[in-house]
Amino acid sequence: MEKVANRLAEYLVRTQTIQMDRKEICAYGFQIGLEFAIAMSVTIASAAIMGMLVECLVILAIFFVIRGFAGGLHMGSFLSCFICSELSVLLALGAVRFIRLDNSVMIVTSILALAIIKLLSPVENDNRPVDACERKKFSGRLNVTIIVLIVLGSILYFTHNGYGLWIVVMGELMNVLSLTAGKIRYRRSR
């Protein structure tokens, strides 16, 4: 992936689209973009094969929105991130398909998950410290996200849409796992 990204960046320098001093930044951006595109393509293809594309997209949307404001675990390499992410999504989709819980259990699980997310966030690592201004901004946006998810969960609960509620809860639980693992990992590295 790194070689492809470097070749793309070199091409941009040769065509004078970017300056030489921006080559490294562009190569990094290309690498991250390519890795993300591959991971999402495999995840979405897996979900489509399972007949759970919509469920996957909802879980990922919830996961990425919360993660953007709360942080989480970052793996050391693309391969480890890819494997961990793919397994997490497949397990969440498997749980949605094969496990049935009472709606009351799911709404309580959702509220507990959101409380844990709020308590654990933000997860910082050495590569991405969060200053006081960012912390306040992320906290406010996370609060809005949590309120939206509580409203969504309540609507699903009161309309007796247990399947939809379970999908939302899976997205929340994936964040709880990522935040918990991140807190443990980054606490040890300090």
DSSP per-residue string spanning 89-111: HHHHHHHHHH----HHHHHHHHH
In this predicted structure, the answer to whether residue 23 has a pLDDT above a threshold of 70 is yes
| Residues 45, 59 within the same domain | no
| Residues 66, 96 within the same domain | yes
Sign (positive or negative) of CA dihedral 92, 40, 87, 176: negative
Q: Residue 12: which pLDDT band, with cuts at 50, 70 and 90?
A: confident
Three-class DSSP category at 125: strand
Q: Residue 74: which pLDDT band, with cuts at 50, 70 and 90?
A: confident
Kindly calculate the radius of gyration of the chain based on its CA atoms and give it in whole angstroms.
Answer: 19
What does the pLDDT read at residue 190?
A: 55
Average pLDDT over residues 38-45: 96
Span of 1-15, 55-69, 76-90 with lowest mean pLDDT: 1-15
98-140 confidence digits (pLDDT tens): 999 999 999 999 999 999 999 999 988 777 788 899 999 999 9
Query: How many domains in the chain?
Result: 2
Give the range of the structural domain holding residue 153, as residue numbers without chain letter: 51-188
Q: What is the pTM of this model?
A: 0.89
What does the pLDDT read at residue 2?
A: 85
User: Which two three-digit tokens encode residue 42?
Assistant: 């495999």
User: Which two three-digit tokens encode residue 41?
Assistant: 């393509």
Q: Residue 189: which pLDDT band, with cuts at 50, 70 and 90?
A: low
Q: What span, in angstroms and rounded, lies between the C-alpha atoms of 109 and 71?
A: 21
| Residues 159, 87 within the same domain | yes
Quick check: bond before 122 cis, omega within 30?
yes
What does the pLDDT read at residue 8?
A: 87
In this predicted structure, the answer to whether residue 39 has a pLDDT above a threshold of 80 is yes
Closest listed residue to residue 68, CA positions, set 152, 139, 149: 139
139-160 confidence digits (pLDDT tens): 999 999 999 999 999 999 999 9
Q: What span, in angstroms and rounded, lies between the C-alpha atoms of 87 and 100?
A: 20
Average pLDDT over all residues of the chain: 93
| Residues 46, 67 within the same domain | no
What does the pLDDT read at residue 119?
A: 96
| Residues 55, 22 within the same domain | no
What does the pLDDT read at residue 130?
A: 83
Q: What span, in angstroms and rounded, lies between the C-alpha atoms of 128 and 163?
A: 36
Q: How far out from the chain centre does Cα 155 lie? A: 24
Domain limit, last residue, from 32, 50, 68: 50
| Residues 59, 41 within the same domain | no
| Residues 33, 63 within the same domain | no
Name which residue leads in pLDDT, 77 or 64. 64
What does the pLDDT read at residue 188?
A: 67
| Residues 83, 156 within the same domain | yes
